[in-house]
């Protein structure tokens, strides 16, 4: 018997995903119901997956139900379809080999049903095996008489290939089946190519969609962050606008107070004119004091009028002069007095041009400024800073020497 490797044929059928050929092959089990029995044997008992794949109850499963759902079974569980095809081949292998050799395998057996012959034809065609067609004559004769022709007991070996009209007819039908099968496969091949192409396009679209979703998530995070920053900025702007409005109102109130003070000062000047007092030198000053001239030998003489030109500048200069004397530091402003010639602590202070000091205090809005609460707060803060720590005692009451 010629050795033919039918396993390679099954491998090629599955590699090509030729489901149509598999349907024809699996429909050709010799015994009816064998396909459904073999299918159930591939799964555990009462398997829900097996019932789902064939959309039927396993207890009443028919061969046709398996064949109708073979596409879905092949897509989900190709190993099951492979096992079914191997089971068919195992049951039919010996018969196929005898047919290939031209030996009639059904001398003592009943002829198999039509489905098996169709499966054998397709399988041998896929195997590229050219059988000896003499057994078709025996099959045709059997179909004509309706009974399986029993060969003579002494007859053995292959039947002679004799020209027969029935054989030629069968050959023509086989050729027609081949052409029909080829035409039927062509759309399937095109469809598989189209499916592969669409699958690639779908994979590319899915990848693009995933990238777009990732970018969308990142943009949403940036949007939320920007929104939070914007809300914080809006709250700060609102607070600043409120503060600006309050400051504007305070500025307007201060401006009105300044205008009122200026008008009041103008009215005071108009009602009580006070002429400027001429600057007098220290030498021309006639000192009238309830003490003798000897008592002013160590007196600190401060020429107020010569400290500055403007009234406000003179007042500030007098304050700075006294502060420098209290702190006993070499401030240049002390050079305008006799501070350097004093021996130790001065025995007194002689302020020249006291009338100019009084006039300057009247001519400037010092009184109104001193009466405001702002001056009180500033004095309090000034003392808190410790700037006046060494100035708590007057110059004449300070202990120790310079």
DSSP letter for 58, please.
G
Q: Cα–Cα distance between 242 and 245 in angstroms, integer? A: 5
Q: Cα–Cα distance between 297 and 294 in angstroms, integer? A: 6
Q: Cα–Cα distance between 374 and 105 in angstroms, integer? A: 127
Q: Output the tens digit of pLDDT for each of the chain's 402 residues.
A: 455 678 888 888 898 888 998 999 999 898 889 999 999 999 998 899 999 999 989 889 999 999 999 999 999 999 999 999 999 989 888 888 888 877 778 777 778 888 888 888 888 888 887 665 555 555 555 555 544 444 443 333 444 445 556 667 777 777 777 777 777 766 666 777 777 788 788 888 888 888 898 889 999 998 998 999 999 889 989 988 898 999 888 888 888 888 888 888 888 777 655 455 454 444 444 444 455 555 677 888 999 998 888 988 999 999 988 888 888 767 888 888 988 888 877 888 888 988 988 988 888 887 777 777 667 777 767 666 665 455 556 776 655 555
What pLDDT, on a 0 to 100 scale, did the predictor assign at position 133?
55
Q: Cα–Cα distance between 100 and 123 in angstroms, integer? A: 12
Look up residue 257 and give its two tokens. Answer: 């107070």
Q: Cα–Cα distance between 14 and 22 in angstroms, integer? A: 9
Cβ(37)–Cβ(87) below 8 Å: no
Q: Please give the full DSSP string across 282-349, using - where no structure is assigned.
A: TTT-----SS-GGGGTTEEEEEGGGS-SSHHHHHHHHHHHHHHHHHT---GGGGGTTGGG--SS-SEE
Identify which of 74, 142, 76 has the alpha carbon closest to the alpha carbon of residue 105: 142
The total of other beta-carbon atoms located within 10 Å of residue 185's CB is 15
pTM of the model: 0.37
């Amino acid at each position: 018997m010629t050795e033919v490797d039918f396993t390679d044929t099954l491998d090629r059928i599955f590699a090509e995903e030729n489901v149509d050929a598999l349907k024809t092959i699996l429909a050709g089990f010799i015994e009816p119901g064998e396909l459904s029995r073999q299918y159930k044997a591939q799964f555990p008992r009462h398997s829900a997956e097996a019932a789902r794949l064939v959309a039927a109850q396993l207890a009443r499963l028919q061969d046709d139900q398996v064949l109708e759902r073979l596409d879905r079974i092949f897509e989900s569980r190709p190993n099951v379809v492979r096992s079914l095809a191997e089971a068919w081949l195992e049951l039919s292998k010996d018969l196929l080999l005898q047919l290939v050799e031209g030996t009639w395998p059904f001398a003592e057996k009943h002829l198999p049903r039509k489905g098996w012959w169709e499966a054998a034809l397709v399988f041998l065609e896929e195997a590229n095996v050219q059988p000896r067609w003499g057994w078709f004559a025996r099959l045709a004769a059997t179909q004509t008489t309706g009974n399986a022709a029993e060969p003579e007991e002494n007859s053995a070996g292959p039947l002679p290939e004799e020209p027969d009209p029935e054989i030629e007819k069968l050959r023509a039908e086989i050729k027609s089946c081949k052409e029909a099968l080829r035409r039927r496969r062509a759309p399937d091949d095109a469809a598989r190519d189209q499916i592969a192409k669409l699958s690639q396009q779908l994979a590319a679209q899915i990848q693009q969609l995933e990238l777009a979703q990732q970018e969308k998530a990142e943009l949403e995070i940036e949007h939320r962050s920007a929104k939070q920053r914007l809300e914080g900025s809006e709250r700060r702007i609102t607070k600043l606008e409120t503060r600006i409005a309050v400051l504007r109102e305070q500025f307007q109130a201060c401006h009105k107070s300044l205008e009122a003070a200026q008008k009041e000062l103008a009215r005071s000047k108009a009602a009580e004119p006070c002429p400027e007092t001429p600057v007098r030198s220290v030498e021309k000053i006639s000192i009238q004091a309830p003490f003798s001239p000897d008592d002013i030998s160590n007196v600190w003489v401060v020429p107020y009028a010569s400290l500055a030109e403007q009234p406000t500048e003179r007042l500030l200069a007098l304050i700075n002069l006294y502060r420098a004397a209290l702190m006993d530091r070499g401030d240049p402003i002390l050079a305008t007095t006799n501070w350097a010639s004093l021996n130790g602590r001065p025995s007194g202070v002689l302020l020249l041009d006291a009338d100019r000091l009084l006039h300057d205090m009247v001519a400037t809005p010092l009184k109104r400024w001193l009466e405001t609460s702002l001056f009180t707060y500033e004095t309090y803060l000034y003392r808190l800073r410790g700037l006046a720590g060494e100035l708590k005692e007057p110059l004449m009451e300070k202990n120790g020497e310079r």
